[in-house]
Amino acid sequence: MKPLSALSVALLLLAGCSGSVSEKESRERELPLFRQALSAEQQGDLDKAVKLYEETLLANPEAASAHLSLAILQQEHAQDYIGAIYHYQRYRDLQPGSEKEEMIKGRKKLCEQLLTRQLIRTHGDTANLIQARQAQEIDALKKKISELDVEKTTLAKEKGDLQIKLKSSESEVARLQRLTEKLVTPDPTPATKPVPKRLDIPNLDNEKPAPKSTPIPALSTPAPKPADTPTTPRTHTVQPGETLYRIAERYYGDPAKWTQIRDANQNLLGPGGQLRAGQLLIIP
């Protein structure tokens, strides 16, 4: 086992006999486990001393003197620089402004330097491997970014094409909506003309007026039907993409009259008035 350095022993002796040491630290050194740890340290059994200081702190976590003694052993004997840094800091937290403040700050800084060298010596090869792996990951990420840029450009072009198609579809929908409104809007009912009242004309031949007679309602005579004249029906050859609405708009100027074409060609049309290119329709 590595014996404690002369500097460490001197510090511990000074801590035990200096008149400036606080009463709190004096009480801590009287703890049974602390006294056993100090005895093992003075006898050179440093591993046992480390264990006893740790047991002291488990039973008394705020024993500042135990933190300091354990930190010195971890630094100089166990080379546990992380543990030493922790216990030095715990001592400073528990004993702020102590006369050992500058000494502890210097030891803590030294532990940090020794820890850095230890990590470099232990993990130097690992660090190189990590750097190489990181370089590979960076190259892979750059390649992925390039692929995403190409994909982004392609998507932007497709978006532009879709916007153009959308505007065209909106125009077609608006046109069909106007045609639908014409089909579902009923024609206004013509206003009924008022029937004029019949005036009674007095009899001028006699001095006394003739008695009023009950008016006889006039009988409406139906207008004679015009004589049927034979005419050759119009026909239309269906072109690709044509509908009954467009054909009615072409021949009548009103797409709402598509039903006349449908009724005249019932035996030629498919379900729902479907047309086929090349069909010959009768246009009444």
Q: What pLDDT does residue 114 have?
A: 92
The model's pLDDT over 191-228, given as tens digits with 9 standing for 90+, comes to 555 555 554 444 444 444 445 555 555 555 555 555 55
DSSP state of 21: S
Q: How confident is the model at residue 97 (pLDDT cuts 50, 70, 90)?
A: confident
Give the whole-number percent of the chain exceeding pLDDT 90: 39
Query: Terminus-to-terminus CA distance in the chain, angstroms?
Result: 120
The model's pLDDT over 20-36, given as tens digits with 9 standing for 90+, comes to 457 888 898 899 999 99
Measured between alpha carbons, how far is residue 229 from residues 233, 235, 284 in Å? 12, 18, 14
Distance from chain centroid for Cα 118:
46
Does the structure show a pLDDT above 90 at 54?
Answer: yes
Higher pLDDT residue, 258 or 131?
258
Q: What pLDDT does residue 188 have?
A: 55
The dihedral over CA atoms of 48, 52, 55, 59, expressed in degrees to the nearest 10, equals 170
Q: What pLDDT does residue 228 have?
A: 53
Q: What pLDDT does residue 272 have?
A: 72
Neighbouring C-beta atoms of residue 108, cutoff 10 Å: 20
Q: What is the residue-averaged pLDDT of the chain?
A: 80
Phi, psi for 282 (deg, rounded to 5): -90, 130
Average confidence (pLDDT) over 239-243? 90
Q: How confident is the model at residue 112 (pLDDT cuts 50, 70, 90)?
A: very high
Residue 111 — left, alpha, or beta (φ > 0 → left; ψ -120 to 50 → alpha)? alpha
Tell me the three-class secondary structure of 199-235, residue by residue.
Answer: CCCCCCCCCCCCCCCCCCCCCCCCCCCCCCCCCCCEE
Does the structure show a pLDDT above 90 at 126?
Answer: no
CA-based nearest residue to 38, from 25, 20, 22, 19: 25
